[in-house]
Structure 1
């Protein structure tokens, strides 16, 4: 990792999103996974409901000044875990990725941690609960491969898909910042990073 002033060069572009293949090597993945486990110990994973009353298939938690939250009253950021505890600090390994792939003058205020078990998915959605969409969203994949799908700024726009592997990083910025995106499925057991299988996705965001 490093603190380069110029962001790294993407390996490919998918639907306007920059994809960095294998930005984190195995050692860096293991180090970041250790930090994520510390986050989960301080702020355990929970299963949120959508505003429509349907439970999400992913389990989640957060780190940073804010955590992302969902229940029947809507999608929003909260300053505390559902238990009432403060969110733990964002992992240093995740902050290093942010610095490497963005030229952003601000650091992220939220690191959303999504855990995909066998059969879990994430429907197409926009990241639009933030105050200023000029800041990018950075996504880090750890563990099993996930089929990432991205479209345009309306649900009817054509979509493209790419399999993301452990250590890959995606940046949604510019015209792609409000693109609809999701994870259609994972290849459970395709990675040996997580002993019992599954995929972890870390999403870094500027909130205010």
Structure 2
């Protein structure tokens, strides 16, 4: 996270300003500024309305206008860098995760990171992490589970009771049960699942 990041709950998103001759003059003095979509520039005499902004009424600066951000910076070189950061995180999270910044309420009473750290919540299960690299691995986990279900099986780990009364693998090792009707047959590998599905297909 950037040092001059502005927390989302401190943000009052300003309305877009109409260009003025004074603003144009200031841009001439400060060099041409080609703003990317999603950013807004504020002169040192203008109120950016971000209460936690360290540059407010102090220096000419820029703000990321995303509702979940508000990042403030003075260096124009960071425009592209910050845009790429959002693209990377959006790609990592997909539609499966939500990111919460420090001091932003994730509205999960049991979350140990609420309002204290940048963290991610899985939208499909209670999984939480603070490391974006773990988001990718967890999304693959869900993709694997969904593929197993699409093949007509349910996965049970060694820590999960499968509720099949005669199953000798329950809470002992990872295994799979057929979800085709009342079948419930057990498989220990993808090969066994495939063979079992062939039996259903031929019956």
TM-score range, shorter chain: under 0.3
Query: How high is the TM-score relative to the length of structure 1?
Result: 0.23
Query: How high is the TM-score relative to the length of structure 2?
Result: 0.23
Give the structure with the larger helix fraction. Answer: 2
Q: Which has the higher contact order (CA 8 A, sep 6+)?
A: 1
Higher Cα Rg, which structure? 2
